[in-house]
Amino acid sequence: MGGSPHTRLTFGRRRYVAVAGGLAVVLAATVTGPAQAAGAGPAACPESLTAKATCYSGQDANGAYYSIAIPKGW
């Protein structure tokens, strides 16, 4: 099987910590919920999307800017 018992224990601990950490992140995101959008509104679409989509842009509660293109008829 290769490796000493110490190596297998270290790998097992790393895997346990990774799984526990991942679960903690998912739980924290679920409890806090998504950031609320602030100032979302219509925006000019790129020329290639003008006939195909409606575009919006805004800034979320954490200060991140975003742009969204929603296909017409969706």
pLDDT digits (tens, 9 = 90+) for 30-72: 555 454 545 679 999 999 999 999 999 999 999 999 999 999 9
Where along the chain do its domains lie? Answer: 1-33, 35-74
Q: Which residue has the tokens 């842009």?
A: 57
pLDDT of res. 40: 76
Residue 18 has pLDDT above 90, yes or no: no
Structure token pair of residue 74: 């969706």
CB 23 within 8 A of CB 7: no
pLDDT of res. 21: 52
Model pTM?
Answer: 0.46
Residue 4 has pLDDT above 50, yes or no: yes
